[in-house]
Amino acid sequence: MPSPSITLFSTPLGTGQGLIRATGAEAEKFLQGQFSNDLRALQVGCGQWSSYNTPKGRIIANFYIQRDREGFWLSLARDLADPVLERLRKFRLMTKVELERGEPQWELLGVAGPGSGALLSRILDVAMVAEANAGVAVEDWIATRLPWADCEAYLLIVRAQPAAALRQSLAAGGAAPADYGAWQELAIRSGVALISLATTEKVIPQELNLESLGGISFTKGCYPGQEIVARSHYLGRLKNQTYRVQAAAPLTVGEEIYTDALPDQGIGLVINAIASGSGWEALAVLRAANSADILHAGKADGTPLTILDLPYPLPLDTPKEP
Protein backbone atom coordinates (compact mmCIF):
# COMPACT_ATOMS: atom_id res chain seq x y z
CA MET A 1 0.00 0.00 0.00
CA PRO A 2 1.47 3.38 -0.94
CA SER A 3 2.08 5.81 1.88
CA PRO A 4 -0.68 8.43 1.61
CA SER A 5 1.47 11.01 3.38
CA ILE A 6 3.97 11.25 0.49
CA THR A 7 2.50 9.50 -2.56
CA LEU A 8 0.13 10.87 -5.17
CA PHE A 9 -2.39 8.11 -5.79
CA SER A 10 -5.84 7.45 -7.19
CA THR A 11 -8.25 4.77 -6.10
CA PRO A 12 -11.78 3.63 -6.96
CA LEU A 13 -13.78 3.94 -3.74
CA GLY A 14 -16.65 1.65 -4.74
CA THR A 15 -15.49 -1.28 -2.62
CA GLY A 16 -15.96 0.72 0.56
CA GLN A 17 -18.32 3.57 -0.29
CA GLY A 18 -21.63 3.90 -2.08
CA LEU A 19 -23.47 6.72 -3.83
CA ILE A 20 -26.96 8.11 -3.37
CA ARG A 21 -28.34 10.60 -5.91
CA ALA A 22 -31.04 13.18 -5.08
CA THR A 23 -32.62 15.26 -7.85
CA GLY A 24 -35.85 17.13 -8.46
CA ALA A 25 -37.42 20.53 -7.88
CA GLU A 26 -37.60 20.04 -4.11
CA ALA A 27 -34.42 18.03 -3.52
CA GLU A 28 -32.75 20.83 -1.56
CA LYS A 29 -35.84 21.48 0.54
CA PHE A 30 -36.22 17.79 1.39
CA LEU A 31 -32.59 17.14 2.28
CA GLN A 32 -32.35 20.40 4.23
CA GLY A 33 -34.98 19.03 6.61
CA GLN A 34 -33.17 15.71 7.05
CA PHE A 35 -29.46 16.42 7.51
CA SER A 36 -27.29 18.15 10.13
CA ASN A 37 -25.64 20.67 7.81
CA ASP A 38 -27.02 23.63 5.86
CA LEU A 39 -27.39 22.95 2.12
CA ARG A 40 -28.75 26.36 1.14
CA ALA A 41 -25.39 28.02 0.54
CA LEU A 42 -23.80 25.00 -1.16
CA GLN A 43 -22.77 26.04 -4.66
CA VAL A 44 -22.46 23.82 -7.74
CA GLY A 45 -19.23 21.81 -7.53
CA CYS A 46 -18.92 22.29 -3.78
CA GLY A 47 -19.34 19.82 -0.93
CA GLN A 48 -19.58 19.47 2.84
CA TRP A 49 -19.69 16.87 5.58
CA SER A 50 -23.07 16.12 7.08
CA SER A 51 -25.01 13.42 8.94
CA TYR A 52 -28.41 11.74 8.94
CA ASN A 53 -29.59 11.13 12.49
CA THR A 54 -32.33 9.46 14.47
CA PRO A 55 -34.74 11.65 16.47
CA LYS A 56 -32.55 10.85 19.49
CA GLY A 57 -29.52 12.36 17.74
CA ARG A 58 -27.73 9.10 16.94
CA ILE A 59 -25.92 9.02 13.59
CA ILE A 60 -27.56 6.67 11.11
CA ALA A 61 -24.88 7.60 8.57
CA ASN A 62 -22.45 10.42 7.89
CA PHE A 63 -21.37 11.35 4.40
CA TYR A 64 -19.75 13.88 2.12
CA ILE A 65 -22.45 15.64 0.09
CA GLN A 66 -21.66 17.37 -3.22
CA ARG A 67 -23.85 19.52 -5.44
CA ASP A 68 -23.90 19.47 -9.24
CA ARG A 69 -26.20 21.13 -11.74
CA GLU A 70 -28.94 18.53 -11.31
CA GLY A 71 -28.96 17.89 -7.58
CA PHE A 72 -26.94 16.27 -4.82
CA TRP A 73 -24.61 13.31 -4.31
CA LEU A 74 -24.10 11.50 -1.00
CA SER A 75 -20.92 9.44 -0.59
CA LEU A 76 -21.28 7.14 2.41
CA ALA A 77 -20.31 3.69 3.70
CA ARG A 78 -21.31 1.13 1.08
CA ASP A 79 -23.14 -1.13 3.54
CA LEU A 80 -25.36 1.80 4.59
CA ALA A 81 -26.23 3.12 1.12
CA ASP A 82 -29.32 0.94 0.61
CA PRO A 83 -30.68 1.31 4.19
CA VAL A 84 -30.26 5.11 4.05
CA LEU A 85 -31.86 5.26 0.59
CA GLU A 86 -34.83 3.24 1.83
CA ARG A 87 -35.25 5.45 4.90
CA LEU A 88 -35.08 8.68 2.88
CA ARG A 89 -37.68 7.36 0.46
CA LYS A 90 -39.92 6.50 3.40
CA PHE A 91 -39.99 10.14 4.54
CA ARG A 92 -40.20 11.64 1.06
CA LEU A 93 -44.02 11.58 1.03
CA MET A 94 -45.29 13.97 -1.70
CA THR A 95 -42.04 15.94 -2.01
CA LYS A 96 -40.79 16.40 -5.58
CA VAL A 97 -37.48 14.60 -5.17
CA GLU A 98 -36.05 11.51 -6.87
CA LEU A 99 -33.74 9.29 -4.80
CA GLU A 100 -31.63 6.50 -6.32
CA ARG A 101 -28.29 4.75 -6.14
CA GLY A 102 -25.55 6.22 -8.31
CA GLU A 103 -23.89 2.93 -9.23
CA PRO A 104 -23.21 1.43 -11.74
CA GLN A 105 -23.82 4.42 -14.00
CA TRP A 106 -21.41 6.54 -11.94
CA GLU A 107 -18.11 5.77 -10.20
CA LEU A 108 -16.59 7.24 -7.05
CA LEU A 109 -12.89 8.05 -7.29
CA GLY A 110 -10.41 9.49 -4.81
CA VAL A 111 -7.23 11.32 -5.82
CA ALA A 112 -4.83 12.43 -3.09
CA GLY A 113 -1.30 13.55 -2.43
CA PRO A 114 0.86 16.60 -3.18
CA GLY A 115 0.11 17.91 -6.66
CA SER A 116 -3.18 16.06 -7.07
CA GLY A 117 -5.07 19.24 -7.92
CA ALA A 118 -2.52 20.25 -10.54
CA LEU A 119 -2.65 16.80 -12.12
CA LEU A 120 -6.46 16.83 -12.25
CA SER A 121 -6.36 20.31 -13.78
CA ARG A 122 -4.13 19.07 -16.62
CA ILE A 123 -6.13 15.93 -17.28
CA LEU A 124 -9.61 17.46 -17.02
CA ASP A 125 -8.56 20.74 -18.66
CA VAL A 126 -10.28 22.71 -15.89
CA ALA A 127 -8.58 24.57 -13.05
CA MET A 128 -9.15 22.75 -9.77
CA VAL A 129 -10.01 25.03 -6.88
CA ALA A 130 -7.53 24.77 -3.99
CA GLU A 131 -10.03 25.93 -1.36
CA ALA A 132 -11.49 23.22 0.90
CA ASN A 133 -15.01 22.08 -0.04
CA ALA A 134 -14.81 23.89 -3.40
CA GLY A 135 -14.81 22.20 -6.77
CA VAL A 136 -16.01 21.95 -10.35
CA ALA A 137 -19.03 20.17 -11.84
CA VAL A 138 -19.67 19.47 -15.53
CA GLU A 139 -21.97 17.04 -17.30
CA ASP A 140 -19.86 13.90 -16.82
CA TRP A 141 -18.11 14.53 -13.50
CA ILE A 142 -17.85 16.52 -10.31
CA ALA A 143 -14.56 17.03 -8.44
CA THR A 144 -14.38 18.64 -4.99
CA ARG A 145 -11.41 19.27 -2.72
CA LEU A 146 -11.99 17.59 0.62
CA PRO A 147 -11.53 19.61 3.82
CA TRP A 148 -8.80 17.33 5.12
CA ALA A 149 -6.19 19.09 7.24
CA ASP A 150 -2.59 18.84 6.01
CA CYS A 151 -3.68 16.80 3.01
CA GLU A 152 -4.48 17.52 -0.62
CA ALA A 153 -7.35 15.21 -1.59
CA TYR A 154 -10.16 15.34 -4.15
CA LEU A 155 -13.38 13.36 -4.30
CA LEU A 156 -14.66 12.72 -7.82
CA ILE A 157 -17.93 11.29 -9.09
CA VAL A 158 -17.55 10.31 -12.74
CA ARG A 159 -19.81 8.65 -15.31
CA ALA A 160 -18.76 5.03 -15.66
CA GLN A 161 -17.72 5.23 -19.30
CA PRO A 162 -15.17 8.05 -19.00
CA ALA A 163 -14.05 6.88 -15.55
CA ALA A 164 -11.81 4.14 -16.96
CA ALA A 165 -10.07 6.58 -19.29
CA LEU A 166 -9.63 9.04 -16.42
CA ARG A 167 -7.91 6.40 -14.28
CA GLN A 168 -5.56 5.60 -17.16
CA SER A 169 -4.73 9.28 -17.58
CA LEU A 170 -4.06 9.64 -13.87
CA ALA A 171 -1.67 6.69 -13.94
CA ALA A 172 0.08 8.09 -17.01
CA GLY A 173 0.42 11.40 -15.21
CA GLY A 174 2.22 9.85 -12.26
CA ALA A 175 -0.56 8.91 -9.84
CA ALA A 176 -0.04 5.44 -8.37
CA PRO A 177 -3.16 3.24 -8.56
CA ALA A 178 -4.20 2.17 -5.06
CA ASP A 179 -6.91 0.19 -3.32
CA TYR A 180 -9.56 1.47 -0.93
CA GLY A 181 -7.30 0.70 2.03
CA ALA A 182 -4.95 3.53 1.03
CA TRP A 183 -7.89 5.96 1.13
CA GLN A 184 -9.01 4.62 4.51
CA GLU A 185 -5.54 5.10 5.95
CA LEU A 186 -5.44 8.67 4.68
CA ALA A 187 -8.90 9.39 6.11
CA ILE A 188 -7.93 7.99 9.50
CA ARG A 189 -4.75 10.09 9.63
CA SER A 190 -6.86 13.11 8.66
CA GLY A 191 -9.29 12.35 11.49
CA VAL A 192 -12.29 11.75 9.23
CA ALA A 193 -14.41 8.86 10.50
CA LEU A 194 -17.12 7.12 8.48
CA ILE A 195 -20.04 5.39 10.17
CA SER A 196 -20.81 1.90 8.81
CA LEU A 197 -23.39 -0.79 9.51
CA ALA A 198 -21.38 -1.96 12.54
CA THR A 199 -21.50 1.47 14.17
CA THR A 200 -24.77 2.97 12.94
CA GLU A 201 -26.91 4.63 15.66
CA LYS A 202 -24.10 4.36 18.23
CA VAL A 203 -22.80 7.95 18.48
CA ILE A 204 -24.00 11.54 18.04
CA PRO A 205 -22.47 13.92 15.46
CA GLN A 206 -20.20 15.85 17.85
CA GLU A 207 -18.74 12.59 19.18
CA LEU A 208 -17.56 11.91 15.62
CA ASN A 209 -15.88 15.36 15.60
CA LEU A 210 -18.29 16.52 12.89
CA GLU A 211 -18.43 19.93 14.54
CA SER A 212 -14.66 20.32 14.06
CA LEU A 213 -15.00 19.07 10.46
CA GLY A 214 -17.71 21.60 9.55
CA GLY A 215 -20.46 18.98 9.36
CA ILE A 216 -23.02 20.61 11.68
CA SER A 217 -24.98 23.84 11.37
CA PHE A 218 -26.44 25.30 14.56
CA THR A 219 -28.49 27.93 12.73
CA LYS A 220 -30.23 25.98 9.95
CA GLY A 221 -33.40 24.99 11.79
CA CYS A 222 -35.06 21.65 12.43
CA TYR A 223 -33.89 18.20 11.35
CA PRO A 224 -34.07 14.78 13.08
CA GLY A 225 -32.00 14.86 16.27
CA GLN A 226 -31.44 18.62 16.11
CA GLU A 227 -32.51 19.19 19.72
CA ILE A 228 -30.01 16.64 21.07
CA VAL A 229 -27.19 18.00 18.92
CA ALA A 230 -27.91 21.59 19.97
CA ARG A 231 -28.14 20.65 23.65
CA SER A 232 -24.74 18.96 23.54
CA HIS A 233 -23.28 22.08 21.94
CA TYR A 234 -24.83 24.87 23.98
CA LEU A 235 -25.15 23.17 27.37
CA GLY A 236 -21.72 21.57 27.39
CA ARG A 237 -23.01 18.02 27.65
CA LEU A 238 -20.54 16.45 25.25
CA LYS A 239 -18.48 13.78 27.05
CA ASN A 240 -17.03 11.76 24.17
CA GLN A 241 -15.03 12.63 21.06
CA THR A 242 -13.09 10.86 18.33
CA TYR A 243 -9.41 10.08 18.81
CA ARG A 244 -6.84 8.52 16.52
CA VAL A 245 -5.34 5.42 18.09
CA GLN A 246 -2.63 2.89 17.29
CA ALA A 247 -2.22 -0.80 18.15
CA ALA A 248 0.24 -3.58 17.43
CA ALA A 249 -2.56 -6.16 16.84
CA PRO A 250 -5.66 -6.08 14.61
CA LEU A 251 -8.55 -3.80 15.57
CA THR A 252 -12.15 -4.52 14.62
CA VAL A 253 -14.74 -1.93 13.67
CA GLY A 254 -17.44 -1.85 16.33
CA GLU A 255 -15.42 -3.42 19.15
CA GLU A 256 -15.53 -1.69 22.50
CA ILE A 257 -12.64 -0.03 24.27
CA TYR A 258 -11.86 -0.43 27.97
CA THR A 259 -9.60 1.24 30.50
CA ASP A 260 -7.84 -0.13 33.57
CA ALA A 261 -9.77 2.40 35.64
CA LEU A 262 -13.13 0.90 34.54
CA PRO A 263 -12.41 -2.71 33.53
CA ASP A 264 -16.08 -3.76 33.52
CA GLN A 265 -17.42 -0.85 31.49
CA GLY A 266 -16.71 0.09 27.89
CA ILE A 267 -15.66 3.71 27.48
CA GLY A 268 -15.31 3.81 23.72
CA LEU A 269 -15.94 2.28 20.32
CA VAL A 270 -13.73 1.60 17.27
CA ILE A 271 -15.27 3.40 14.27
CA ASN A 272 -12.71 2.75 11.48
CA ALA A 273 -9.53 0.66 11.47
CA ILE A 274 -6.84 -0.25 8.95
CA ALA A 275 -3.54 -2.11 8.94
CA SER A 276 -0.63 0.27 8.46
CA GLY A 277 3.14 0.10 8.35
CA SER A 278 3.26 0.62 12.11
CA GLY A 279 0.65 -2.01 13.00
CA TRP A 280 -2.96 -0.87 13.08
CA GLU A 281 -4.43 2.61 13.13
CA ALA A 282 -8.02 3.52 13.96
CA LEU A 283 -10.44 6.26 14.79
CA ALA A 284 -12.34 5.60 17.99
CA VAL A 285 -14.94 7.47 19.98
CA LEU A 286 -13.69 7.65 23.58
CA ARG A 287 -14.83 9.20 26.83
CA ALA A 288 -12.62 12.26 27.09
CA ALA A 289 -12.24 11.94 30.87
CA ASN A 290 -10.57 8.54 30.38
CA SER A 291 -8.47 9.33 27.34
CA ALA A 292 -5.28 9.55 29.44
CA ASP A 293 -5.89 6.13 31.06
CA ILE A 294 -4.37 2.84 29.93
CA LEU A 295 -6.63 1.71 27.07
CA HIS A 296 -7.40 -1.72 25.64
CA ALA A 297 -9.52 -2.83 22.70
CA GLY A 298 -11.99 -5.72 22.84
CA LYS A 299 -11.78 -6.41 26.59
CA ALA A 300 -10.21 -5.06 29.77
CA ASP A 301 -6.93 -6.92 29.14
CA GLY A 302 -7.19 -6.80 25.34
CA THR A 303 -5.05 -5.11 22.71
CA PRO A 304 -3.20 -2.07 24.17
CA LEU A 305 -3.93 1.25 22.48
CA THR A 306 -1.86 4.40 22.11
CA ILE A 307 -3.47 7.75 21.30
CA LEU A 308 -1.95 9.64 18.36
CA ASP A 309 -2.31 13.27 17.34
CA LEU A 310 -5.04 14.55 15.03
CA PRO A 311 -4.46 17.44 12.59
CA TYR A 312 -7.23 19.61 14.05
CA PRO A 313 -8.48 20.71 17.50
CA LEU A 314 -10.85 18.29 19.23
CA PRO A 315 -14.40 19.51 19.96
CA LEU A 316 -13.89 19.69 23.72
CA ASP A 317 -10.71 21.71 23.21
CA THR A 318 -12.45 24.29 21.00
CA PRO A 319 -14.07 27.34 22.67
CA LYS A 320 -17.80 27.59 21.99
CA GLU A 321 -19.39 30.73 20.63
CA PRO A 322 -21.97 32.27 22.97
pLDDT tens-digit profile of 106-157? 999 999 999 999 999 999 999 999 999 999 999 999 999 999 988 999 999 9
Task: Tell me the pLDDT of the chain averaged across its residues.
Answer: 94
Residues 6+ apart with CB under 8 A from 254: 198, 199, 269, 270
> Is the same domain home to 60 and 91?
yes
What total of structural domains would you count in the chain? 2
Q: Kindly provide the b/e burial profile for residues 72-107, where b requires at least 16 CB atoms within 10 angstroms of the residue's own CB.
A: bbbbbbbebbeebbebbeeebeeeebebeebbeebb
Sheet of 59-67, strands arranged across: 47-53, 59-67, 71-77, 17-23, 98-101
pLDDT of residue 232: 84
| pTM given for the model | 0.94
pLDDT of residue 257: 98
> Is the same domain home to 282 and 182?
no
Radius of gyration for the chain, computed over Cα atoms and rounded to the nearest angstrom: 19
Alpha-carbon separation of residue 108 from 14, 19, 62, 66, 76 (angstroms): 6, 8, 16, 12, 11
Mean pLDDT (whole number) for 286-304: 96
Alpha helix ranges (H) inside 33-113: 78-90
Bridge partners of residue 20, in order along the sequence? 74, 101
Alpha helix ranges (H) inside 157-207: 160-172, 180-189
pLDDT of residue 6: 46
Give the domain-ending residue among 135, 162, 189: 189
Is residue 199 a part of any domain in this protein? no
Give the domain-ending residue among 162, 189, 216: 189
Domain range holding 145? 9-189
Q: What percentage of the chain reaches a pLDDT higher than 70?
A: 97
Mean pLDDT (whole number) for 43-69: 98
Task: Indicate whether 193 pLDDT > 60.
Answer: yes
pLDDT of residue 235: 80
Closest residue by Cα to residue 21 from 49, 79, 63:
63
CB atoms within 10 A of CB 53: 24
Is residue 3 a part of any domain in this protein? no
CATH number of domain containing 177: 3.30.1360.120
